[in-house]
């Protein structure tokens, strides 16, 4: 299950493999019963979803779907796409891979349905399978994590120009977009770089002992960066509070593996988390019964 916040609502996107069903839930940050917004049939693991104006957008097995905001509303926006989705205004941005030419395309798609518009060509770093695990954008630029090339690319939404922003960072992403900077995970830990063209190396905010791609989860609020160090084959997962200027982190919460039959440890049931100014919300597997539970704790 994945989590996202918008306004005073929490959104959860769950996928039931046995039913081949993705379902979007909505509930208040103050608690109470969850409302099922909409659902969609389809096989394959969902990529990271985003919420905009009460609707969820996600890619599953090459299909870009929109759930909500109206009750029961489910819409397929595009087929044959291969990345996380970003929503900017009235459009969704997503990558489409071309394994014949090895030149991939950033597409702009109306969120209410309509033809996809190619806005940039992205030459693939090698002929290996394309892997774009994270995509964020504002009105001017899109930023793309490229595992194939161990890089982060900046793509102009005005003229389609593509430039490398960060190079030689294994498993870059997820990405967090800030007004003047981009924060990201990589095999070197949690880092921040300026969004403008610069020869300066990214600033490291946390080491790979606390924030290691591709296993960890990251989020931010106005006070700090937050990392769940979901590193494979460990028995505990710790939520770290990291000052925005870097420095010593503070452990806030620890999840322990409570599966009595576990042969390996891959996150202690941690599925996702989200943060606001007051609380952290954690989606966690329940080992003793089916389904998920969502924990809430003050960030102080």
The per-residue pLDDT for range 168-195, each reduced to its tens digit, is 999 999 999 999 999 999 999 999 999 9
Q: What pLDDT does 30 receive?
A: 83
Domain annotation covers residue 276 = yes
Q: Per-residue pLDDT tens for 55-92?
A: 999 999 999 999 999 999 999 999 999 999 999 999 99
Domain annotation covers residue 135 = no
Q: Predicted confidence band at 299 (pLDDT cuts at 50, 70, 90)?
A: confident
Q: Is the pLDDT of residue 119 over 80?
A: yes
The tally of domains found in the chain comes to 1
Q: What is the dihedral of CA 205, 220, 52, 15, to 10 degrees?
A: 90
Range(s) of the domain holding residue 227: 215-300
Q: What pLDDT does 281 receive?
A: 94
Q: Predicted confidence band at 294 (pLDDT cuts at 50, 70, 90)?
A: confident
Q: Predicted confidence band at 288 (pLDDT cuts at 50, 70, 90)?
A: low
Distances (CA, A) of 29 to 7, 52, 54, 82, 270: 9, 17, 15, 32, 19
> Measured between alpha carbons, how far is 276 from 110 in angstroms, rounded to an integer?
29
Domain annotation covers residue 275 = yes
Domain annotation covers residue 205 = no
> Measured between alpha carbons, how far is 158 from 178 in angstroms, rounded to an integer?
19
DSSP output for 116-146: -EEEEEEE-SSSSPP-B-EEEE-SSEEEEEE
105-119, 225-239, 282-296: range with highest mean pLDDT? 105-119
Q: What pLDDT does 267 receive?
A: 45
Domain annotation covers residue 280 = yes
Domain annotation covers residue 283 = yes
Sequence length of the chain is: 300
Sheet containing strand 103-110, strands side by side:
86-88, 91-96, 103-110, 117-123
Mean pLDDT of all residues belonging to the chain: 90
- Calculate mean pLDDT across residues 141-152: 96
Domain annotation covers residue 162 = no
Q: What pLDDT does 245 receive?
A: 84
Q: Give the torsion sign (CA, 251, 218, 74, 79).
A: negative
Q: Are 55 and 68 in contact (CB under 8 A)?
A: yes
Query: 228-237 contacts: CB < 8 A, separation 24 or more?
Result: 228/270, 228/273, 230/266, 230/267, 230/270, 232/264, 232/265, 232/266, 232/267, 233/264, 233/265, 233/266, 234/265, 235/265, 235/268, 236/268, 237/267, 237/268, 237/270
Distances (CA, A) of 103 to 96, 98, 120, 128: 9, 6, 10, 12
Q: Is the pLDDT of residue 45 over 80?
A: yes
Domain annotation covers residue 170 = no
* Of 34-38, 162-166, 258-262, minimum mean pLDDT range: 258-262
């Amino acid at each position: 299950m994945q989590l996202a916040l918008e306004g005073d609502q929490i959104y959860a996107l769950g996928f039931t493999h046995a039913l081949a069903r993705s379902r979007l839930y909505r509930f208040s940050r103050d608690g109470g019963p969850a409302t099922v917004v909409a659902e969609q049939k389809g096989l394959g693991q969902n990529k990271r979803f985003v919420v905009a104006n009460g609707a969820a957008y996600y890619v599953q097995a090459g299909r870009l779907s929109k759930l909500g905001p109206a009750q029961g509303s489910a819409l397929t926006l595009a087929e044959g796409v291969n990345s996380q989705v970003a929503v900017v205004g009235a459009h969704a941005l997503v990558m489409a891979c071309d394994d014949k030419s090895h030149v991939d395309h950033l597409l702009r798609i109306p969120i209410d349905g309509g033809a996809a518009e190619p806005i940039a060509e992205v030459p693939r770093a090698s002929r290996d399978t394309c892997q774009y695990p994270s995509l964020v954008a504002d009105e001017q630029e899109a930023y793309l994590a490229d595992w194939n090339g161990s890089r982060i690319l900046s793509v102009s939404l005005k003229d389609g120009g593509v430039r490398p922003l960060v190079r030689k960072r294994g498993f870059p992403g997820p990405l967090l977009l800030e007004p003047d900077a981009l924060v990201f995970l990589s095999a070197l830990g949690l880092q921040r770089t300026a969004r403008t063209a610069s020869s300066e190396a990214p600033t490291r905010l946390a080491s790979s002992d606390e924030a290691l791609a591709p296993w960890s989860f990251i989020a931010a609020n106005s006070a700090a960066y937050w990392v769940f160090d979901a590193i494979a084959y460990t028995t505990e997962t710790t939520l770290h509070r990291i000052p925005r200027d870097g420095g010593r982190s503070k452990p806030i919460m620890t999840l322990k593996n409570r599966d009595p039959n576990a042969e390996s440890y891959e996150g202690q049931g941690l599925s996702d988390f989200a943060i606001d100014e007051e609380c952290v919300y954690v989606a966690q597997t329940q080992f003793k019964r089916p389904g998920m539970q969502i924990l809430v704790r003050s960030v102080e």
